[in-house]
Amino acid sequence: MAGNVGLLKHASNVPQCALAIAEIFERAGFPEGAFQTLLIGSEQVQTLIDDERIQAATLTGSELAGASLAAAAGKQIKKTVLELGGSDPFIVLESADLAAAVATATNARLQNNGQSCIAAKRFIVSERIFERFEQQLVAQFEQLTLGDPLEKTTDLGPLATVKIRDELHQQVQQLIAQGARLLTGGQSLEGPGNFYCADYFESDSPERHDG
């Protein structure tokens, strides 16, 4: 809008999303080349950053990817904006509307099938209402309908790749080995699609309970 152009190197496992974004710019009437999707691997990003035509870079992703990009841009004295992974707490006080909190917590945890950097990951709940919150949240999870994400009746669809599903299962097993108590879900489903049951954990911390 201000005379700049954009180059998008999207996550390698969703190239069609990247191409769709470029198509939207084209359909909106932007000049040819004003926004381009680059179907390249992460190992080629360094070459782009070194190019004098690239003035700045931004990234949404992991801390590892952010550190790599910032280091490459720093060598060229180029500006960066990084939005990296986090784990902001979902806090529920005893004054909360419990039903509303549980409904919001369910949606916040499972948006985009849980594949969202802004999804709720830690639930910190007042001790006085913790048991009721936990019971209702587990019940909500167990009522979810897994299936085709294109169907209106589906609450939870498959994960993007087999690798993501398997890594998630490894994380679940690691948590259990470290003392977490699995209250529901936590297993892959047989058949087509990378489905994984929603899981909920209770920590043994005396000060807080994380889901």
Question: What would the pLDDT profile of 105-148 be if each residue is shown by its tens digit?
Answer: 999 999 888 888 788 888 999 999 999 999 999 999 999 998 89
Residue with tokens 């990003």: 45
Known catalytic membership, residue 197? no
* Catalytic site residue from 63, 94, 117, 142: 117
Known catalytic membership, residue 94? no
Residue with tokens 């040819």: 32
> Can you list the domains of the chain with their CATH numbers?
6-84 (no CATH), 89-202 (3.40.309.10)
- 56-61 vs 79-84, strand pairing mode: parallel
**Among 194, 211, 3, 6, residue whose Cα is nearest residue 92:** 211
Say what the pLDDT of residue 1 is: 65
* Catalytic site residue from 23, 26, 63, 83: 83
Contact 165, 159 (CB under 8 A): yes
In sequence order, what are the residues at sequence separation of 6 or more whose Cβ sits closer than 8 angstroms to the Cβ of residue 22? 8, 35, 36, 37
Q: How far apart are the first and last CA of the chain?
A: 42
